[in-house]
């Protein structure tokens, strides 16, 4: 039965990026990331390998040859724009060749297409704002400097900023970036206790974000997406073409999902079109996005209708 007096759900999206997070280190034990494990159990998760020069047969407009370099500049550019480096132009952390005017981030697309939407981004890698990966059309852009303050400290500030927005403001789409796992991966490798500690801290930040969402009005419909830009070698570091560096993941959670679902090879470029879809913004073919919309949950069957 339908309550005709109930308010229609308001679609909202939270995307959380955890830099350099290796999937095998994430899933090996619930104790290293209890919030992420609970989110995977309640929602859906899948992995894919970043293409390294092979044909990408799942591109939105047909096959293309893509190179998704395992560095953060091209990685987050692909996640945020919905296209591979052959289109957005970023092949390294110097961001040379970036074409964000033609391929803006999904928050900028949302803000431009639906000016009434409230968009916000907060990051601990300041280059994402400084280099224009997160564009000026975004309603709120805040960068905390993990390069100078250390990512443990900067990530804490990122979390506090995002929680303040979720409790005192009304964002419609929010991007949050944490960088401590990547910093630890470079310093001591992803098999180290320091890497586990960084993951546990980011997991706790995520838990507080989800608690803030749970405390928001009941008529809101939140889609939560978690992803990473690349992996790490066992010894630490990335930039090559090994599986440890190329494997990435997407976690998707939203109301109505069947827990423990597997996503079919979700790719970084699928994040942007999925966010736009959940916000009710049709993807214009003229945008040239190469990603696909990740499937919505199948509504449970019921004798009531």
User: What pLDDT is stored for residue 4 in this prediction?
Assistant: 44
Q: What is the pTM (predicted TM-score) of this model? A: 0.92
**Mapping DSSP to helix (H, G, I), strand (E, B) and coil, where does residue 123 land?**
strand
| Closest listed residue to residue 249, CA positions, set 294, 298, 187 | 294
DSSP class per residue in 161-212: HHHHHHHHS--SEEEEEE-HHHHHHHHH-TTSHHHHHHHHHHHHHHHHHHHH
pLDDT of residue 297: 72
- The reported pLDDT for the residue numbered 133 is 98
DSSP 296: P
- Compute CA distances 166 → 9, 106, 170, 176, 275, whole Å: 17, 19, 6, 12, 18
Q: How many Å apart are CA 46 and CA 249, to the nearest integer?
A: 6
pLDDT for the residue 305: 31
- For residues 133 and 143, what is the distance between their CA atoms, to the nearest angstrom? 12
What's the average pLDDT block by block, 10 residues per block, for the chain (305 residues)? 59 98 95 96 96 55 65 98 97 97 98 98 98 98 96 98 98 98 98 97 98 96 98 96 97 92 96 98 97 81 40
10-50+105-284: which CATH topology? Alkaline Phosphatase, subunit A (3.40.720)
Q: Is-contact 163 209, C-beta < 8 A?
A: yes
Residues contacting residue 67 through CB under 8 Å, at least 6 positions apart: 51, 52, 53, 84, 85, 86, 91
The pLDDT score that the predictor gives to residue 58 is 44
Quick: pLDDT tens for 35-73.
999 999 999 999 999 998 654 444 334 444 568 899 999
């Amino acid at each position: 039965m339908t309550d005709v007096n109930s308010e229609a759900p308001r679609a909202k999206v939270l995307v959380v990026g955890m830099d350099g997070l290796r999937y095998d280190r994430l899933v090996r034990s619930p104790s290293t990331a209890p919030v992420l494990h609970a989110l995977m159990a309640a929602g859906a998760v899948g992995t894919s390998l970043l293409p390294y020069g092979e044909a990408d047969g799942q591109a939105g407009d047909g096959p293309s040859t893509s190179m998704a370099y395992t560095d953060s500049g091209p990685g987050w550019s692909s996640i945020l724009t919905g296209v591979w480096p052959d289109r957005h132009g970023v092949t390294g952390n110097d961001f040379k060749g970036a074409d964000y005017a033609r391929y803006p981030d999904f928050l900028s697309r949302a803000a431009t297409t639906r000016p009434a939407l409230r968009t916000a981004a907060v990051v601990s890698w300041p280059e994402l704002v400084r280099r224009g990966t997160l564009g000026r059309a975004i309603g709120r852009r805040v960068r905390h400097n993990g390069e100078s303050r250390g990512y443990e400290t900067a990530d804490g500030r990122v979390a506090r900023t995002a929680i303040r927005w979720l409790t005192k403001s009304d964002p419609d789409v929010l991007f949050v970036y944490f960088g401590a796992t990547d910093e630890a991966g470079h310093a001591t490798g992803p098999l180290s206790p320091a890497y586990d500690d960084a993951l546990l801290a980011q997991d706790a930040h995520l838990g507080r974000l989800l608690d803030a969402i749970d405390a928001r009005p009941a008529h809101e419909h939140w889609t939560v997406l978690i992803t990473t830009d690349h992996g790490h070698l066992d010894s630490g570091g990335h930039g090559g073409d090994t599986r440890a560096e190329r494997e990435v993941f997407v976690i998707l959670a939203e109301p109505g999902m069947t827990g423990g679902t597997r996503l079919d090879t979700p790719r970084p470029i699928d994040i942007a079109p999925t966010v736009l879809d959940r916000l009710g913004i049709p993807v214009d073919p003229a945008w040239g996005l190469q990603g696909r919309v990740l499937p919505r949950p199948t509504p449970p069957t019921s004798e009531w209708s």
